Amino acid sequence: MQNGIAADGVCSSESANGSRDVWSCKGSDSSSADHLVIMVHGILGSSSDWKFGAEQFVKRLPDKVFVHCSERNMSKLTLDGVDVMGERLAKEVLEVIQEKPNLCKISFVAHSVGGLVARYAIGRLYRPPKEEVKEDKSGDGCKEEQRGTIGGLEAMNFITVASPHLGSRGNKQVPFLFGVTAFEKAASCVIHWIFRRTGRHLFLTDDDEGKPPLLKRMLDDYDEFYFMSALHTFKRRVLYSNVAYDHIVGWRTSSIRRDGELPKWEETLNETYPHIVYEEHCKACDADQHETISIEDDGSSDKLEEELVRGLSRVSWEKIDVSFQSSRQRFAAHSVIQVKDEVMHIEGADVIQHMIDHFLT
- Which residue, 5, 55, 62, is CA-closest to 33? 62
Amino acid type, 27: G
Instruction: Tell me which of 100 and 14 has the higher pLDDT.
Output: 100
- Position 302 scores a pLDDT of 81
What structural domains does the chain harbor?
4-130+147-358 (3.40.50.1820)
Amino acid type, 209: E
pTM of the model: 0.88
User: Widest CA span of the chain, in angstroms?
Assistant: 63
Q: What is the mean pLDDT of residues 76-87?
A: 95
Answer left, alpha or beta for residue 265, where phi above 0 means left and psi between -120 and 50 means alpha: beta
Is residue 221 scored above 50 in pLDDT? yes
Q: Among 7-16, 96-105, 323-332, whose mean pLDDT is lowest?
A: 7-16
Measuring CA to CA, how many Å separate 2 from each of 48, 62, 93, 301? 12, 21, 21, 51
Is residue 320 scored above 70 in pLDDT? yes
Q: Residue 302 in contact with residue 17, Cβ under 8 Å?
A: no
Q: What is the mean pLDDT of residues 56-62?
A: 97
- Position 5 scores a pLDDT of 56
**CA 31 distance to own-chain centroid:** 27
What are the residues facing 126 on neighbouring strands? 150
CB atoms within 10 A of CB 316: 14
- Position 288 scores a pLDDT of 53
pLDDT in tens, 185-213: 554 545 554 555 898 999 898 887 788 99
SS3 of residue 132 by DSSP: coil
What are the residues facing 184 on neighbouring strands? none
- Position 301 scores a pLDDT of 44
Query: Is 160 buried (19+), middle (13-18) or exposed (0-12) by CB count in 10 A?
Result: buried
- Position 146 scores a pLDDT of 74
- Position 6 scores a pLDDT of 59
pLDDT in tens, 278-308: 999 999 986 555 554 554 444 444 899 999 9
Is residue 12 scored above 80 in pLDDT? yes
Q: What is the mean pLDDT of residues 11-30?
A: 86
Q: What is the mean pLDDT of residues 145-159?
A: 92
**CA 185 distance to own-chain centroid:** 27
pLDDT in tens, 102-149: 999 999 999 999 999 999 999 999 999 986 555 555 555 565 557 899
